[in-house]
Amino acid sequence: MDPIQETVKEIHWNVLESLSKVARFSRDTAATILEHPYARPILPHLPPVVNNLIQTEPTRSVIDEYDPGRVYLAKWASSINEASRAERLEKSDESFPGRRRRRWSDSEPKRWEEETEDELTLPPVHAIRTDPLNAEKWFSFFDTEGRLKVELNEVREAVFRGGIENDIRIDVWKFFLKVYPWDSSRVERENLLDAKAQQYWALKREWWDSPEVLNSDDFKEQKMRIEKDVIRTDRTMEFFAIEDMPHPDPLISASSKTTNKKLEAMKDILMTYHFYNKDLGYVQGMSDLLAPVLIVMEDEVSAFWAFVGFMERMKSNFYRDQSGMRRQLLTLEHLIKFMDPPLYKHLSESFYCL
């Protein structure tokens, strides 16, 4: 590379790295302050503009999706580079005795940092964890008619901080996966579930009771695709482990002549979703999202509508033009470039070396 271009490029990376340090310092400092118990009473008094920004869907979406992605990427990057970096570090220690070895940062999982003896480190930020949301606390969120009487953010925070106890998981998931509206009463939810059951069976009959559909090439193709995906469901899970009934269509299954009711329910739900969402249909990988939903919901009707709600959030990952995946990867690229320029530089250089 031309020396001038090399110099400009190096300045570019130095500027980005400096900005990333400011961003990380601001993030960690803000988190430390806002997590402090004495700070909670002032949060409702933040300027309206700030509150409105925090509540917008794009902001909350970035907040929800950034941290898991950052942690995963940091772990992945560190695991593939650990050996080579350690080797380079050995040589560096011999040349610069005053420099300490690189270490794992306490504040971020598996993140390499290089420190000198006189470098000041920030205190670690620890997330506040609480006990799992139990039935007593959950029902206290609702009034005598079963309507939510607290702010939705309070419910979200309780689940985020501690998770959910198993005995109320079905009910909680039905709200979060949009089977139940948050502003509904107990009676309204009972009526809604009856209506959704009738709607589901009507949707299923569109293909189940139609010889014309059952003999169509599109149906046979989708059935084969769903069959291949469902039989790959993790059989170490007790819910799917035991095959205790003969396969209803042994000619279509090359791997097994037996099955169980849970696997057959998955196939029916996925095929019904194919007819429910005709624009998207069934795409490989959807069965992996349905499996945990069915385990929690247990019955076919509730699992279908919970899956529909889940897919409203996840469907962009299954677009055939891959626009949703490309958008997420582009967002991830921008985040890494700003928050961790050295990692971005390493990944860019590795890509060009391929």
CA 74 → CA 82, 84, 105, 243, distances in Å? 12, 16, 11, 40
Question: What is the spatial distance between Cα 336 and Cα 291, in angstroms, rounded to a whole number?
Answer: 32
β-strand 112-113 against 103-104: which pairing, if any? antiparallel
Using CB atoms within 10 A of its CB, is residue 311 exposed (0-12), middle (13-18) or buried (19+)? buried
Q: Nearest Cα to 102, choosing from 110, 350, 73? A: 110
Nearest 10 degrees: CA dihedral of 60, 66, 68, 74?
-170
Using CB atoms within 10 A of its CB, is residue 65 exposed (0-12), middle (13-18) or buried (19+)? middle
Q: Please report, in tens digits, the pLDDT of each residue of the chain (354 residues total).
A: 566 666 666 666 666 666 666 556 555 555 554 454 444 444 555 555 555 555 666 555 555 555 555 555 555 555 555 555 555 555 555 544 444 444 444 444 444 444 433 444 444 555 688 999 999 999 999 999 999 999 999 999 999 999 999 999 999 999 999 999 999 999 999 999 999 999 999 999 999 999 999 999 999 999 999 999 998 888 788 888 888 888 887 656 555 678 889 999 999 999 999 999 999 999 989 999 999 999 999 999 999 999 999 999 998 888 878 888 888 888 888 888 888 888 888 888 876 554
CA 126 → CA 31, 77, 129, 209, 264, distances in Å? 9, 23, 9, 56, 44
